[in-house]
Structure 1
């Protein structure tokens, strides 16, 4: 268990809290939509309902983006630089929102986060020692990287829900990345054992072939 005052502990708490609120809003919206029979009402009422729910959801999506904006670069830079990076991210978001609109600002930040997290995932797959993780272990790092990638894609999916084809693509990639990441994190030792046993079997086969040739 991490110390209560640790940076990572508070980031985890904040992430869990924000995701819980987002989930609660989504569940509430789904049931209220059904019970109020909004699906049988005129299109204008449906649109108003969707806009109202989106307005409620947006602050928590922004909070999640800010948290991810701290978590993702944390793998690549020391803690002392994280606050500065978060400030720069906030300035960029505010600038794009002021110049264009909120959706574009969120899309820009999420795209940058997606590119950065893709780099983290590639480095994790390559077994790079440059990445900064609290826990050691190849599969734990890969799993954590996949979960963060899934979170970014989840938010992008919420932003582009009106684009059906893109929505479905992002949904399935998000699902696969998140589920795979959780499995690798929860069963990291078992996965490592499977690969170690496979590698050992291959080495024995190679040794047998080498001895036969000699």
Structure 2
């Protein structure tokens, strides 16, 4: 069984030790390191190779949001889960935009805590219960209003191939035409379109085209 490699970044030593003790009891978890924000160096991730970082939202010496941006920019494969008592809606928006994959409330049950870690490691997005539903769509609407379509498109993390497909969708090409033009299978194109819709929190190809054309 492949274990999930975890790093815990938490200022409160008692809480940090308690979290680590709880995680170490799970057969599929390995806690590779635990830090407070004063002794955490992002360069250590290269050596420790975590799958998931558990990060306190309210660090004392470092800005948690800046740290998320740094982690996601330099270590794109590492998933970040933010821990807090009850994050404000604005915090949720900012952290999701920065690339956070999940939120753990510090009053969650142990079962919910562990379930969130496993789900995020498997690629799911886990939001606070009060923020579920249309939050990702709200984020995109917020981005259009605050950033403008051009910066919004740029802020969504896409592969070069996905960006290429967004442009072709904006030009009005159907999936079959895109497949022919890029020498891909229709199934590969559909998979890319699905990923684009997911990343942009949209529902249809038409919405992709609207956003892309508005950004030009």
Interval of TM-score (by shorter of Structure 1 and Structure 2): under 0.3
As a proportion of its length, which structure holds more helix?
A: 1
Q: Return the structure number with greater strand share.
A: 2
Q: Which has the larger radius of gyration?
A: 1
- TM-score normalised per structure 2: 0.26
TM-score of the superposition, structure 1-length normalised? Answer: 0.26
